[in-house]
Structure 1
Amino acid sequence: MFVGVHRGIIKRDSQERRPIGQRLAAIITQFNLILQIFDVIPIQNATETHWSTELAQAIKSPAELWPLLGLTEQDLPAAHKAMASFKMLVPRPFVSRMEFGNVNDPLLKQVLADDIEMLPVAGYSKDPLDEGNHNPQKAIVHKYERRILVITTGTCAVNCRYCFRRHFPYGDNQLAQKEWDSVIDYLKDHPEVNEVILSGGDPLMLKDSQLSQHIARLNDLPQLKRLRIHSRLPVVIPSRINDELLAWVSQSRLDVVLVLHSNHAHEIDQSIADKVALLKRAGVTVLNQGVLLRGVNDSVEAQVNLSEALFAAGILPYYMFTFDPIEGGAHFDISIEAAQQLMGQVAQKLPGYLMPKLAKEIPGEPAKTVLAPRL
Structure 2
Amino acid sequence: MPDGSAHLKTSRLPGSRTLRDAAGLVAAGLVPPEAQSGLDALSKTYAIAVTPAVQALIDLADPSDPIARQYIPDIAELTTLPSERSDPTSDAPFTPVKGVVHRYPDRALLKPLLTCPVYCRFCFRREVVGPGGGLLSEAELDAALDWFAATPQLREAILTGGDPLMLSPRRLQHILRRLSSIPHLDIIRLHSRVPVSAPERITPELAEVLAESDKALFLCVHANHEREFADDARAALKRLRRAGVALLGQSVLLRGVNDSPEALTALFRAMLAQQVKPYYLHQLDRAPGTARFEVPIEEGRAILRALRGKLTGLAWPAYVLDLPDGAGKAPLGPDFAKADGDDWVVEGPLDKKTYRQEKT
Aligned pair in 2 of structure 1 residues 253, 295: CA closer, same or farther (>3 Å)?
same
* Stretch of structure 1 that moved more, 227-236 or 278-287: 278-287
State whether residues 342 and 373 of structure 1, in contact with CA within 8 Å, keep that contact through their aligned partners in structure 2.
no
Partner of residue 120 from structure 2, selected from 143, 147, 160: 160
The equivalent of 1:261 in structure 2 is 222
Secondary structure of 1:368's match? strand
Partner of residue 119 from structure 1, selected from 71, 74, 79: 79
Q: Name the CA distance, whole Å, in 2 between partners of 1:372 and 1:136.
A: 32
Q: CA RMSD in A?
A: 2.4
After superposition, what is the alpha-carbon deviation per residue over 1:341-375, rounded to whole angstroms, capped at 9, x for unaligned? Answer: 11111224311111221111113465421111267
The equivalent of 1:324 in structure 2 is 285
> How far off its partner does 1:312 sit?
1.1
Runs (5+) with no aligned partner, structure 2: 1-13, 337-360
Partner of residue 128 from structure 1, selected from 88, 91, 96: 88
The equivalent of 1:272 in structure 2 is 233
Q: Name the CA distance, whole Å, in 2 between partners of 1:60 and 1:288.
A: 27
Q: Name the CA distance, whole Å, in 2 between partners of 1:72 and 1:142.
A: 43
State whether residues 80 and 115 of structure 1, in contact with CA within 8 Å, keep that contact through their aligned partners in structure 2.
no
Aligned pair in 2 of structure 1 residues 64, 181: CA closer, same or farther (>3 Å)?
closer
Secondary structure of 1:108's match? helix
User: Radius of gyration: which is bigger?
Assistant: 1
> How far off its partner does 1:210 sit?
0.6
The equivalent of 1:58 in structure 2 is 18
Q: Name the CA distance, whole Å, in 1 between partners of 2:137 and 2:16.
A: 22
State whether residues 88 and 287 of structure 2, in contact with CA within 8 Å, keep that contact through their aligned partners in structure 1.
yes
Aligned pair in 2 of structure 1 residues 353, 189: CA closer, same or farther (>3 Å)?
same
Q: Name the CA distance, whole Å, in 1 between partners of 2:222 and 2:129.
A: 22
The equivalent of 2:46 in structure 1 is 86
- Corresponding letter in the other structure for 1:159: Y
Q: How many aligned positions are there?
A: 322
Matched, 1:109 2:69: yes
The equivalent of 1:144 in structure 2 is 104
State whether residues 146 and 193 of structure 1, in contact with CA within 8 Å, keep that contact through their aligned partners in structure 2.
yes
The equivalent of 2:248 in structure 1 is 287
Q: Name the CA distance, whole Å, in 1 between partners of 2:40 and 2:248.
A: 36
- Corresponding letter in the other structure for 2:84: Y
* Stretch of structure 1 that moved more, 246-255 or 60-69: 60-69
After superposition, what is the alpha-carbon deviation per residue over 1:312-357, rounded to whole angstroms, capped at 9, x for unaligned? Answer: 1221111110000101111111211111111111224311111221
Partner of residue 138 from structure 2, selected from 153, 177, 180: 177
TM-score between both structures, scaled by the size of structure 2: 0.83
The equivalent of 1:38 in structure 2 is none
> How far off its partner does 1:296 sit?
1.1
Secondary structure of 2:165's match? helix
Identity over the aligned pairs, expressed in percent? Answer: 32
Q: Name the CA distance, whole Å, in 1 between partners of 2:74 and 2:30.
A: 19
Q: Name the CA distance, whole Å, in 2 between partners of 1:94 and 1:169.
A: 19
> How far off its partner does 1:144 sit?
0.7
Matched, 1:336 2:297: yes
Q: Name the CA distance, whole Å, in 1 between partners of 2:24 and 2:129.
A: 29
Runs (5+) with no aligned partner, structure 1: 1-53
Aligned pair in 2 of structure 1 residues 120, 179: CA closer, same or farther (>3 Å)?
closer
State whether residues 71 and 101 of structure 1, in contact with CA within 8 Å, keep that contact through their aligned partners in structure 2.
no
State whether residues 343 and 373 of structure 1, in contact with CA within 8 Å, keep that contact through their aligned partners in structure 2.
yes
Secondary structure of 1:287's match? strand
Partner of residue 309 from structure 1, selected from 264, 270, 273: 270
- Corresponding letter in the other structure for 2:64: N
> How far off its partner does 1:166 sit?
0.9
State whether residues 231 and 258 of structure 1, in contact with CA within 8 Å, keep that contact through their aligned partners in structure 2.
yes
Q: Name the CA distance, whole Å, in 1 between partners of 2:151 and 2:107.
A: 10
TM-score between both structures, scaled by the size of structure 1: 0.80
State whether residues 197 and 228 of structure 1, in contact with CA within 8 Å, keep that contact through their aligned partners in structure 2.
yes
Partner of residue 347 from structure 1, selected from 308, 322, 325: 308
State whether residues 270 and 313 of structure 1, in contact with CA within 8 Å, keep that contact through their aligned partners in structure 2.
no
Secondary structure of 1:359's match? strand
Q: Name the CA distance, whole Å, in 2 between partners of 1:173 and 1:271.
A: 28
* Stretch of structure 1 that moved more, 78-87 or 313-322: 78-87
> How far off its partner does 1:116 sit?
1.1
Secondary structure of 1:259's match? strand
Secondary structure of 2:44's match? helix
After superposition, what is the alpha-carbon deviation per residue over 1:179-227, rounded to whole angstroms, capped at 9, x for unaligned? Answer: 3321232123211111111111111111111111111111211111111
> How far off its partner does 1:67 sit?
5.4
